[in-house]
Amino acid sequence: MDSLDENTSGFTVYQGPQNHSLQISRAVKCRELLPQQKRHVILVVDDDPFNVEGLKALLSLLCSVPQVHCAFDGQQALTVLQSLAYRVDLVITDFQMPVMNGVRFAQELRQLQEDGVAPSRLQIAVASGMNLANEDQSFVIDGRMRPLFDHRMQKPFSSRELKRLLDDLAV
C-alpha cells in the first residue's frame, strides 16, 4: 500500500506464479469508498494465501470491514462459519480449491440456509478467473428462489467492484 497524497492510497497485488492470482492496481480514494453506515463481517475463502492476504488488505484499505476471517478451502470455511455461529454477512470464495471447491461449498452453505441453520441474509460471492455463466443453480430459502452465488466477480477485479459489492449487501 502506498500513500499517493493525503486523500489517496494505492494498493497493488502483483500476479504470482499461479495464473489465477488476485491483481489490483488502481489507486483508491478512501474518503470516496468509505461506507459510513454498516460494518460487515466477511469470510474470505481461497486456497492461495497470496490472494487471501491481498483481499484482506484491500478490504482494510476500503476502510469498511473490521472483521475479516479466512479459510483456505470450502471444508475449512464451513468449520469457520460454524465457529462464528454463522454471524457473517458475506462470504467471498474462490471457485477452484482443493478438498472442497467453491461450488460444493456454496451448495453446502445454501443447504444450511434452507435448513435454517445459517441465516438467509448471509450472501455468497464467487471470485474467479473462470467464466461462471453455467453455474446457475438455484435454491429455495425462506420460501423464495435464491441463486447459488449472490455475486460474481471476475479476477482480476477492481477495488470499485469490491466496494459496489459491499454497498449492495442487504444486511
Q: What is the pLDDT of residue 134?
A: 57
Mean pLDDT lowest among 40-49, 55-64, 139-148: 139-148
Neighbours of 162 (CB within 10 A): 24
Show the domain range for 93.
2-168
Write down the pLDDT at residue 32.
47
Torsion, Cα of 66, 105, 108, 163 (10° steps): 40
CATH code at position 153: 3.40.50.2300
Is the Cβ–Cβ distance between 60 and 26 less than 8 Å?
no
Strand 123-128 to 90-94 pairing: parallel
Specify the number of domains making up the chain: 1
What is the band of 64 on the pLDDT scale with cuts at 50, 70, 90? low
Q: What does the radius of gyration of the chain's CA atoms come to, in whole angstroms?
A: 16
Residues 71-121 have pLDDT tens digits of: 999 999 999 999 999 999 999 999 889 999 988 999 999 999 989 999 988
Residues 6+ apart with CB under 8 A from 166: 35, 40, 62, 64, 65, 90
